[in-house]
Amino acid sequence: MTKNRSKRPTPQFDRELCIACTSCIDICPTGALEPEIRNSIHGFRRFPVLSQEEKCIRCSLCEQECIVGAIEMKERKGSGFKVQGSGLKT
């Protein structure tokens, strides 16, 4: 029996906490994370995104590396970015 990968925890990113340092991208052993330019309250920044979920081995190194606690491993819903105030994910 194979596990459903979408039910396994993946990194979820909080753009409000993220300082766009890209340490999580650098430490990812499989290259599953990539920078993506997105708008934030601080202007346009290079935020991490899980661009290749099939490459993610769920090692949680990115979560451990994040100095501001902007990454949390949990079930994936939407893109993984929280939109402030709306309760929606984009």
Where is 49: in which H helix or E strand? Answer: strand 43-50
Residue 26 has pLDDT above 80, yes or no: yes
> pTM of the predicted model, to two decimals?
0.72
pLDDT of 1 higher than 50: no
CB 56 within 8 Å of CB 14:
no
Query: How do residues 35-81 score in pLDDT, each as one tens digit?
Result: 999 887 778 889 999 999 999 999 999 999 999 999 999 986 655 44
Q: How do the domains of the chain map onto residue ranges?
A: 12-75
CATH class of 12-75: alpha beta
